[in-house]
Amino acid sequence: MRYPTKYDSFVGLEIHVQLTTESKIFCGCRNRFGDEPNTNVCPVCMGLPGSLPSLNQEAMSKAYLVAKALHCDLADTCLFERKNYFYPDLPKNYQISQFAKPLGTNGWIDIVVDGVTKRVRIHECHLEEDAGKMIHAGDMSLVDYNRTGTPLLEIVTEPDLNLGEEAEILIHELRRIVRYLGVSDGNMDEGSMRCDANVSVNTKGAGLGRKVEVKNLNSSRFVRLSLNYEIDRQTEILEDGGTVVQETRLWNENRDQTIVMRSKENANDYRYFPEPDLPPFRTTPEFLADLETRIVELPLDRRVRLVSTLGISQTQAEVIGEEKANADYFEKVLEYGADGPTVATWMTGDVQKLLNRTGQSAAESPLTPERFAELLTLMAEGKIHGKIAKTILELVFEKNKNPRVIMAEQGLEQMNDSGELAKLVSQVLVDNPVAVEQIKAGDTKPMGFLMGQVMKASGGRAEPGMVQKMLKEHLG
Ligand SMILES: [Zn+2]
């Protein structure tokens, strides 16, 4: 990572998160991505005269839940206001948003950068309605109003980030948080999470510089690339003795650079005023109690706990803790008495390979937590060794049966009866006189071969340690 020495760089993010609710924020239209254009619309979200909005309580709950997870002060009362501007994707010519009294303020989110925890302050969280979607096709522009009125939570950070890499990490962490909370799919490809960023560069120690806004960043990679590009661009201007122009820019992904969009507008250009058709929203004890039941351990806290209390590696914790359902599954296996590091190794290795092959998540696969633990118990009891365990694991996926049942049905139980093994070893020695002679003459190379022959004769079930010991005893 590059750290400019003569200059300080400051990055703040405005992240928009679409909330997954059944219906839109102010009307009963279905809130769903990918439907036939302009099929989920009604007079309210089309802004027809005389139509009145009514607030979706579930959208409010989900918005407050994120604010709570981001350690914000939750507003007892928050207000909706009209943000006035004209654009074809906004049929009312104003957007219902929050300005003077947002629902959450003064929060923070922790991110881990190069192994060090960094706390980024959250300025505020506010809820608004999404606009429609413009589709530009040649010299024609089309608009899909299905997205109009989708509940959109805007999360505004303080300019506590310094580089594009940090912004990218924050976006990933926030995506995990909203997915853990079950309030959004956080899918940037489909626009469920979008980002604008503020960047400024100034002489070291002189505080914030002149702010440039980079808008409409729709992938975390573009966030990183565009911010680092802007930091370099502004640094060069300052190096040459120039002044950075306060403006709004766009990321051009084909040219890998930011380009001017417009000079920056101010908040008063939007002529915010209270939305007369919606009363202020006031939290009740029931509303707040409901939030308590819906809050979960945050993904970063969980990764830290998995590493510190269960002894699994950082990388394993990152893989297992990426999705809440996966981490829950992992901990359920442990409830059956399995050992953390062993489960983690299997889960991120052989089990993951099978899940990739079948396209299932662990929780929906035939390998229930109980079966997973049973497989490891069979190994711990010495009934099977690792290679047989892998065979049984595949059969669990194939036959949807318990490992112990599969072991019995397929006769896979480990052979550790010394009498039976001794017979197999003797037979292999008789069948391979040349190898035996070689070893007796001092060349130990064929040991592996003989070992393999015994394993083969036992159908892979012989306990390898015992076989090795017996061969050594026979051959000196
Ligand atoms: Zn509608």
Ligand 1 centroid to residue 43 C-alpha, Å: 6
| CA gap 443, 286 in Å, rounded | 80
Q: What is the mean pLDDT of residues 70-99?
A: 96
Q: What is the pLDDT of residues 353-386, one digit of tens each?
A: 999 999 999 999 999 999 999 999 999 988 898 8
Ligand 1 centroid to residue 38 C-alpha, Å: 10
Q: Residue 207 is encoded by which pair of tokens?
A: 């505080």
Q: Are strands 212-217 and 247-252 parallel, antiparallel or unpaired?
A: parallel
Strands (E), 44-188: 73-74, 77-78, 81-84, 94-97, 104-113, 116-129, 133-137, 140-144, 151-157
Least confident of 65-74, 216-225, 322-331, 467-476: 467-476
> How does the average pLDDT of the chain come out, rounded?
93
Higher pLDDT: 345 or 445? It is 345
Ligand 1 centroid to residue 95 C-alpha, Å: 14
Topology of the domain comprising 418-475: Arc Repressor Mutant, subunit A (1.10.10)
Ligand 1 centroid to residue 94 C-alpha, Å: 15
> Terminus-to-terminus CA distance in the chain, angstroms?
59
Reading phi first (left if > 0) and then psi (alpha if -120 to 50, else beta), residue 266 is in beta
- The pTM of the full predicted model, rounded to 2 decimals, is 0.89
**Is 389's pLDDT higher than 90?**
yes
Q: What is the pLDDT of residues 312-343, one digit of tens each?
A: 999 999 999 999 999 999 999 999 999 999 99
Ligand 1 centroid to residue 151 C-alpha, Å: 12
Q: What is the per-residue pLDDT for 2? A: 55
| CA gap 451, 429 in Å, rounded | 10
Q: What is the per-residue pLDDT for 171? A: 98
Q: What is the mean pLDDT of residues 303-314?
A: 95
| CA gap 196, 214 in Å, rounded | 6
Position 247: which residue type?
E
Q: What is the pLDDT of residues 4-56, one digit of tens each?
A: 579 999 999 999 999 999 999 999 999 999 999 999 999 999 999 999 999 99
Ligand 1 centroid to residue 26 C-alpha, Å: 7
Q: How confident is the model at residue 140 (pLDDT cuts 50, 70, 90)?
A: very high
Q: What is the mean pLDDT of residues 180-189?
A: 96
Ligand 1 centroid to residue 57 C-alpha, Å: 16
**Is 416's pLDDT higher than 80?**
no
| Interaxial angle between packed helices 314-321 and 324-335, expressed in degrees from 0 to 180 and rounded to the nearest 10 | 110
Q: What is the mean pLDDT of residues 394-418?
A: 91
Ligand 1 centroid to residue 194 C-alpha, Å: 22
Ligand 1 centroid to residue 59 C-alpha, Å: 15
Q: How confident is the model at residue 254 (pLDDT cuts 50, 70, 90)?
A: confident
Query: Using an 8 Å Cβ cutoff, are 375 and 382 in contact?
Result: no
| CA gap 100, 317 in Å, rounded | 41
Query: Using an 8 Å Cβ cutoff, are 295 and 285 in contact?
Result: no
| CA gap 245, 238 in Å, rounded | 11
Query: Using an 8 Å Cβ cutoff, are 218 and 49 in contact?
Result: no
Query: Using an 8 Å Cβ cutoff, are 294 and 324 in contact?
Result: no
Higher pLDDT: 383 or 126? It is 126
| CA gap 470, 429 in Å, rounded | 11
Q: What is the pLDDT of residues 418-442, one digit of tens each?
A: 888 889 899 999 999 999 989 888 8
CB under 8 Å to 35, separation ≥6 — which residues?
146
Q: What is the per-residue pLDDT for 442? A: 86
**Is 211's pLDDT higher than 70?**
yes
Query: Using an 8 Å Cβ cutoff, are 200 and 244 in contact?
Result: yes
Query: Using an 8 Å Cβ cutoff, are 463 and 471 in contact?
Result: no
| CA gap 55, 24 in Å, rounded | 9
Q: What is the per-residue pLDDT for 1? A: 46
Task: List the domain boundaries for the chain.
Answer: 7-290, 297-409, 418-475
Q: What is the pLDDT of residues 347-356, one digit of tens each?
A: 999 999 999 9
Ligand 1 centroid to residue 351 C-alpha, Å: 45
Ligand 1 centroid to residue 287 C-alpha, Å: 25
Nearest to 277 by CA among 129, 131, 130, 147: 129
Ligand 1 centroid to residue 19 C-alpha, Å: 16
Q: What is the per-residue pLDDT for 414? A: 82
**What is each CA distance from 107 to 116, 230, 298, 314, in whole angstroms?**
20, 27, 14, 27
Q: What is the mean pLDDT of residues 138-159?
A: 96
**What is each CA distance from 233 to 1, 237, 241, 423, in whole angstroms?**
17, 6, 13, 78
Q: What is the per-residue pLDDT for 264? A: 63
Three-state secondary structure of 342-394: HHHHHHHHHHHHHHHHHCCCHHHCCCCHHHHHHHHHHHHCCCCCHHHHHHHHH
- Which residues fall inside 5 Å of ion ligand 1, going by CB? 27, 29, 42, 44-45
Residues in the chain: 476
Ligand 1 centroid to residue 134 C-alpha, Å: 18
| CA gap 383, 371 in Å, rounded | 15
| CA gap 48, 67 in Å, rounded | 32
